[in-house]
Amino acid sequence: MRRHRNVKIVATLGPASSSKEMIRALHEAGADVFRLNMSHGSHEDVAARHRFIREVEAELGSPIGILADLQGPKLRVGVFGGEGAFDLEEGQPFRLDLDPAPGDAKRVQLPHKEIFDALRPGASLLVNDGKIRLKVQDCGPDHANCTVTVGGTISNRKGVNVPDVVLPLAALSEKDRKDLEFVCELGVDWLALSFVQRAADVEEARKLAKGRAAILSKIEKPAAVDAFDGILAVSDGIMVARGDLGVELPVQAVPPIQKRLIRKCRAAAKPVIVATQMLESMVESPVPTRAEVSDVAHAIYEGSDAIMLSAESASGRYPIEAVRTMEAVAGSVETDPTYVQIIEASRTVSRKTVADGIVAAAREIAEATDVKAIACFSESGTTALLVARERPRVPIIALTSLESTARRLCLTWGTNCAIVAPVDRFKKAVLAAIHVAVEQGFAAETDRIVVTAGVPFNTPGSTNILRVAPCQERLVYEGEPE
């Protein structure tokens, strides 16, 4: 299904969107990638949703990406006595410890020894998405005596964030390891890794994935922001997960961080998703707020590869309307002349390799002439990523013989993926590109397209040839070109 926009839409599946009919409707409304949230639902639920996506993909003949989002370690307080909740007041002392006895207004269990090993006096702990804030006065290997700096009601098993220290915790819990193996065997295209603090967390996940899925790192902790360059270098993609990031950092710090991370991802030719509460009001309302529309538009103006719906499509009352809203906002932004100016002004010049020069030349030719599209042959997806980094004004057609590559590229800005038969000569590549361009409406037989490829074929990173091809060269096809 050809999209008349460049930014991609990721929709999370859940109770409101688990049927095959709803998944098809969401894809037809504009969803390019579906997110399977491993924090909710059984493996049977996940397998059913995966099967429905692949059935819709086969019926529509349209590659669809699947992103499995691993839960990551969850840090929570223990349980309380009485009615299970107590009010904490600003300035009062409060103790966290390893004692499993029910908590009260003075203390509660924090069953994570690793946190106590890392805490230092002056560190902050945030409870219940930051609604309660504690400051550590003194601590030891089994306790932390704190002062309440922001009061509120604390109750059973509320989440805890520790923004000031790098915790000696692996990004993958035992549950995550089981989930990772399950979804990789199932055949997902992307793995989203939660609780990333350092590059080593990503490398561990990559070893376990064994090439079966691309690794996308979620940036949701201050430590990940500080170590971002190293994390980006070993990741295949990035998610700016603004939920926990907005809890652990001052909220006003998140927008500039988002902008900075998007630009770094683009310079590295790696896809980046902006996520969390983009159209939050549409969980209950059929229309978004003006602020939410501006938030979505801002992410598109910045050049993000994809924008994501979470609860809006997973459990909200209006999942299809939420996707259509994102589609409409994208259409409005990308036809704005200011959008083109911003995207081109933020382009990073990279001429380190022959491939860099080829894709830059393809973009310049397309913008200086009446070329209708840039077609690139890419078995690994690398060439398509490099072309997308250039953010050309014409459509990108990514041609590959591998379903896995086409599905992963569904997350990449501006790419229209087509699965074609393997080719061994550049002439065949040109003819196949012309066929796809004409058949899918990117060009007419009187138009021209730019074709890039690497010779010899099937060698990752070998892009070394470019041709401006008249579509009149198109042959009469009996299947694939001869």
Q: Is 175 among the residues known to form the active site?
A: no
Q: What stretch of H or E contains 393?
A: none
d(CA 292, CA 283): 12
* Cβ contacts of 193 within 8 Å, gap of 6 or more: 70, 72, 171, 172, 201, 202, 205, 215, 216, 217, 218
Q: In what order do the strands lie in the sheet with 448-454?
A: 415-419, 396-400, 374-377, 448-454, 463-470
Report yes or no: 154 and 127 within 8 Å, Cβ to Cβ.
yes
d(CA 243, CA 259): 16
Catalytic residue among 76, 177, 212, 347: 76
Structure tokens at 15: 């109770």
Ramachandran bin of 376, using left for φ above 0, alpha for ψ from -120 to 50, beta for the remaining angles:
beta
Catalytic residue among 12, 276, 383, 452: 276
Q: Is 210 among the residues known to form the active site?
A: no
* Cβ contacts of 158 within 8 Å, gap of 6 or more: 76, 77, 127, 128, 132
Secondary structure (DSSP) of 111-179: --HHHHHH--TT-EEEETTTTEEEEEEEEETTEEEEEEEE-EEEETT-BEE-TTS--S--S--HHHHHH
The interaxial angle of helices 174-186 and 199-209, nearest 10 deg, is 50
Report yes or no: 135 and 164 within 8 Å, Cβ to Cβ.
no
Q: Is 382 among the residues known to form the active site?
A: no
3-state DSSP percent of the chain in helix, strand and coil, to 5:
40, 25, 35
Catalytic residue among 218, 363, 428, 474: 218
Q: Closest Cα partner for 430 from 393, 366, 362, 376?
A: 376
Please identify every residue annotated as catalytic: 35, 76, 218, 276
